[in-house]
Structures are given as C-alpha cells and as structure tokens.
Amino acid sequence: MRPRLSIGLLALVLAGNVLAGSKREDAWPQMEFPACKRFVESPAFERYLTAVEGGEREAIYLSGKIHCCVDASRALELEFALSHALLNNPDAVALMLASTFPVRKICRVPLIEADPAQEQAFAKRALTALSTVHHKSPEVQECMRAFRQALVASQTAR
C-alpha cells in the first residue's frame, strides 16, 4: 500500500516545521528554508516522493514550495516524481507547469538508461494522460509536444 502524504505532512507538523500560510483548509503550507532543508534530508522525503508519484494532489502542490530548498540530486528526484505524477493526476501537475516548474524539467521520460520500448511506453501513457487535462494551457500543449518528440525519438532508436 502506498504511503499517504499525510505521513510526510504529519512529520513536518510534529517537528514544528510548517507555518500556516492561510486560514483556508486548502492553502499550501509555507515552509521556512531551514525547515524545508531538514524535511528534504529526512526519511520522510522518500515517502513524500512516493505520494507525488502516486498523484496525490496535496503532495504535488507542496512540490511548489519544496523545490526551492533541494539540491541538484533531490531536484532530479522531485522532477522525476512529478513526471510520474503526470500519469496519475495530470490536472494537478499541469497547474504546477503553469506556475512553478519549467516544462523541460517535468515533461520528459523519467527513466535513466531505459530501453526505447520503455521510453515509448511512458511517452504514450503521458500523452494519453495529458489529453484528459481540462485546461489546455500553453504549458500543457508544450508538454504534449515534448512527449510527442520523445515518442518519435524512441521509435527511431529501435
């Protein structure tokens, strides 16, 4: 069973690391930089990435706050998790494309040294998921173009 995001958020709350950004229930938590760094370096970060990959909306939205305090290695992990999240919650990831993450960082096959068949399969699944996004922003259209290019590249690599 996939860990829920509430585990990661609970760890943050228990550690006193989340500051209320608003009284609204759906507001994103605001994190101070030192608290964010502690979270990223903790075991709870791996559970958080699993929640992002699984498409949990709150986890995806929290990535907009966390990305500013990750190093290059963790940034790649977060970007790959968001790429996987495209398959499970494309609408939530599409909002992040429009506001926080560059398309080139998220709209790519998140597999290192994958064979062309795996890359092709991921690109097809991503295109199918993106076709369901309700608001086709310029970023979503650019994302779809990126996956179409990845699809063509994987077909010619065979």
pTM: 0.80
Q: What is the pLDDT of residue 120?
A: 95
* Angle between helix 116-130 and helix 72-88 axes, rounded to 10 deg: 60
Q: In this predicted model, what pLDDT tens digit does every residue of 96-112 receive, in sequence order?
A: 997 889 999 999 999 99
Q: In this predicted model, what pLDDT tens digit does every residue of 130-155 receive, in sequence order?
A: 999 998 899 999 999 999 999 998 88
Task: Give how many domains the chain has, as a whole number.
Answer: 1
The whole domain housing 33 covers 5-156
The CA–CA distances, whole Å, from 139 to 86, 133, 134 equal 13, 11, 13
